[in-house]
Amino acid sequence: MLYWLTGSARSSANAYYERFHDAIMWAPKERSRVPMGVAVFTTDVAIRRFAEKTNTIVHWSEFERGGHFAAMEAPELFIGDVRTFFRRLR
């Protein structure tokens, strides 16, 4: 409603439009050697086989609660997972 009333819906959605209509996004990419951790909360969708194509995933967690704003919705799960990820990199 906020976007609708302020007339900013189009400009806020423009970033998504631009990204998905950019040919570079769909071009093959070199796999990153940087270790990556992924936390999947209930309302987010992450498919590991696609994420692994371009990332070096060393930590993957899935949670039954929390959501897109996990740091606010389930801070203890989020913080615990971040700590677990970084402990492995010491």
| Residue (of 56, 74, 57) closest to 65 by Cα position | 74
Residues of the domain holding 60: 28-87
Structural domain contains residue 83 = yes
Please, are residues 57 and 38 in contact by the beta-carbon 8 Å criterion?
A: yes
What pTM value is reported for the model? 0.68
Structural domain contains residue 2 = no
pLDDT of 2: 81
Running DSSP on this structure, what letter comes out for residue 21?
A: T
Total domains in the chain come to 1
Running DSSP on this structure, what letter comes out for residue 46?
A: -
Q: How many Å apart are CA 55 and CA 35, to the nearest integer?
A: 8
Running DSSP on this structure, what letter comes out for residue 30?
A: P
pLDDT score of 65 more than 90:
yes
Structural domain contains residue 18 = no
Least confident range from 36-40, 47-51, 75-79, 84-88: namely 47-51
| Residue (of 87, 81, 90) closest to 38 by Cα position | 81
Structural domain contains residue 15 = no
